[in-house]
Chain A
Amino acid sequence: MLRLTAKHLFWLKALFHLLGLVPIVYLVLTVVLGRAGGDPVQHIIHYTGIGALNALAATLLISPIAKLTKQGQLMQTRRLVGLYVFAYATLHILAFFSLDLLFAWELLFSEVVKRPYILVGAVAYLIVTALAITSFKAVMRKMGRRWQTLHNGVYLVAILAPIHFYWSVKSEIIEPSLYIVGFSVLLLWRTPWLKRILSRKGMSKTVKKTTSGQEKASIKSA
């Protein structure tokens, strides 16, 4: 069976950086070239928000994939992807503050209080920031067991962020609903109840040989 080598990991990380950066370059180009609409403020805020959600989904997919494929080294890429959640969320908030509120500090406070969905997003962002700050190896060692407790906060973010999205739209609820369903699946995947089903499946020889995609399907149907 193929084992991921250091070289593989290097290229995988490079690929993840590319996947994280290309959308930003694309956004900047479309805006500068006038292809993002007459007043792309909402577009920029929405785009960076979706970017943060997608990066969060990717972060939460890494450990299930690592387990299913028995490639534990994949976990080494998780910090990188997680930091893109922080990067996109930061751009999202900067865009809101600079382009929508036009740097009005007093509004930042009153709007956060008046818009409950912003409050939900702000809490999620504070957690993500805490996770980003404590993502360094040295901090991780220093924090010991408390590090894991803190970083379980990512599950709270996975609940708050899609709610923030759903709550913010006027009527276009289909897309945010899909994110809520997607994150629910990623969270349920981690519950003991599903883990038991997963490990039972993993033990049976027939499933072991199938590809991960088919395996997923069989778990869903179980």
Chain B
Amino acid sequence: MAKHSRFTPGILKKAQWHMQDNRVTPEAVFRSRRQIVKAMGLGAIGASVPGYVQAGLFDLFGDQPKSSFITTPLTFQTNKQYGDADVLTPLDKVTQHNNFYEFGTDKQDPFNNAQGFKVDPWQLRIEGEVERPMTLDFNDLTKMFPLEERNYRLRCVEAWSMVIPWVGFPLAALLKKVGVTSKGKYVAFETAFDPEQMPGQKSRLMGGGIRYPYVEGLTIAEAMNDLTLMSVGLYGKTLPPQNGAPIRLVVPWKYGFKSIKSIVRIRVMDKQPPTSWNQLAPHEYGFYANVNPAVDHPRWSQASERRIGEGGLFSATRIDTQPFNGYGEFVASLYDGMDLRKNY
């Protein structure tokens, strides 16, 4: 991974308001897209039709998509140790293109259905093979550990990808605080179960046939790796519900479905815990689910991915998928001697 060698390891202190240039660009592109729409004459068409027709069009499409969930700015340091070269995916795409079946299986469903999701009060329980089991309240999530921002690539098992500036703390910091016992070999995670708030858990048609609550797991070595992040925010603010508010896992070298959202329980265990997609289709989704271009999904290739672009639909690019999503230098050693074809 020569790509990463030019970054200086270590945490760089940076003021919170200091925005990177590439972060500003997407917004500009986003705005220019609106300009293009105007330039295409749609505005002119709009102005030339009678008022009641315009009103009708508004009814047809609803109001401009808007997030009514309130996110708040976070205080953090910027950690560029894990890369800074990729262009960030604009915020509106990160928050309006989500797989979170608890809120529906279409990509825009979580944005449309999750805005009323209540995250405060919240309780995150850490238990199992730990010396000091504990429960984190809503305020603890952002206050108990120093937060840092990291730009991670997110590779979905469906072969599309994004680059997201997460804010959070290493899972290792939390596990050290509770103290893993000598019997602790795996870590199990569980998403909130609340069918009243999560329509996908209520209706099989909306929830895509997954058994809820959604569960995920890591080996203790994976969980203790510094790359493994408990994220509480993105783009400098707390997480919107569709991205897994108030706290989620981010494991950037694994397919996105491993990065479980809206976590209420973390359980350290002595054996491998069940994981949702593996339960649903064990021959398609393994426990490890490391990004691997050499091992295809039984129904599609994983050799390349569609990197969602910063502008219109054609700003996307087809790029080669990297082993461990390009994080091999940090995590490949975790799997020394393991047959990655068998342990997909």
**Residues in chain A within 8 A of chain B (CB atoms):** 29-43, 98-102, 104, 107, 110-111, 114-117, 167-168, 170-175
B22 CB to closest chain A CB (Å) equals: 18
Interface string of B144-169 (1 = CB under 8 A from A): 00000000000000101000000000
**Residues in chain B within 8 A of chain A (CB atoms):** 33, 37, 40, 42, 61-62, 64-65, 92-97, 101, 105-108, 111, 158, 160, 204-205, 208-210, 280-281, 296, 299-301, 303-304, 306, 308, 313-314, 316-318
Q: A29-B61, A171-B210, A174-B205 are in contact. List 20 more A-B contacts (CB 8 A).
A: A33-B37, A35-B61, A35-B62, A37-B106, A38-B107, A39-B96, A39-B107, A40-B108, A41-B160, A41-B313, A42-B107, A42-B158, A43-B108, A99-B313, A102-B318, A110-B301, A115-B299, A115-B300, A168-B299, A171-B280
Partner of A43, one of B61, B107, B204, B314: B107
A39 and B205: CB pair below 8 A?
Answer: no
Q: Which residues of B contact A111 (CB under 8 A)?
A: 300-301
Q: Which residues of B contact A39 (CB under 8 A)?
A: 93, 96-97, 107, 160, 308, 313, 316
A173 CB to closest chain B CB (Å) equals: 6
A33 and B299: CB pair below 8 A?
Answer: no
In Å, the complex CA distance between A101 and B96 comes to: 21
A39 CB to closest chain B CB (Å) equals: 4
B208 and A170: CB pair below 8 A?
Answer: yes
In Å, the complex CA distance between A117 and B297 comes to: 13
Q: Which residues of A contact B308 (CB under 8 A)?
A: 38-39
Q: Which residues of A contact B316 (CB under 8 A)?
A: 39, 41, 99, 102
Partner of B96, one of A32, A37, A172: A37
A174 and B318: CB pair below 8 A?
Answer: no
A37 and B105: CB pair below 8 A?
Answer: no
B144 CB to closest chain A CB (Å) equals: 32
A38 and B62: CB pair below 8 A?
Answer: no
In Å, the complex CA distance between A54 and B108 comes to: 23
Partner of A170, one of B64, B94, B158, B313: B158
Q: Which residues of A contact B42 (CB under 8 A)?
A: 32-33
A107 and B318: CB pair below 8 A?
Answer: yes
Q: Which residues of B contact A38 (CB under 8 A)?
A: 92-97, 107-108, 111, 308
A167 CB to closest chain B CB (Å) equals: 7
Closest 9 pairs between A and B when the two form their complex, measured CB to CB:
A38-B96, A37-B108, A38-B97, A38-B93, A39-B97, A172-B208, A114-B301, A171-B209, A171-B208
In Å, the complex CA distance between A81 and B314 comes to: 31
B281 CB to closest chain A CB (Å) equals: 7
Q: Which residues of A contact B299 (CB under 8 A)?
A: 115-117, 167-168
Q: Which residues of B contact A114 (CB under 8 A)?
A: 296, 300-301
A35 and B107: CB pair below 8 A?
Answer: no
In Å, the complex CA distance between A102 and B106 comes to: 22
**Closest A residue by C-beta to B90:** A38
In Å, the complex CA distance between A170 and B188 comes to: 23
In Å, the complex CA distance between A171 and B33 comes to: 34
A172 CB to closest chain B CB (Å) equals: 4
Partner of A40, one of B105, B313, B318: B313
In Å, the complex CA distance between A137 and B258 comes to: 56
In Å, the complex CA distance between A39 and B95 comes to: 10
Q: Which residues of B contact A173 (CB under 8 A)?
A: 209
A219 CB to closest chain B CB (Å) equals: 28
A36 and B37: CB pair below 8 A?
Answer: no
A116 CB to closest chain B CB (Å) equals: 7
Q: Which residues of A contact B95 (CB under 8 A)?
A: 38
Q: Which residues of A contact B108 (CB under 8 A)?
A: 36-38, 40, 43
Q: Which residues of B contact A43 (CB under 8 A)?
A: 106-108
A54 CB to closest chain B CB (Å) equals: 18
In Å, the complex CA distance between A33 and B209 comes to: 32
Q: Which residues of B contact A36 (CB under 8 A)?
A: 108
In Å, the complex CA distance between A39 and B300 comes to: 20
Partner of A37, one of B33, B40, B111, B300: B111
In Å, the complex CA distance between A104 and B107 comes to: 24
Q: Which residues of B contact A40 (CB under 8 A)?
A: 107-108, 313
A174 and B93: CB pair below 8 A?
Answer: no
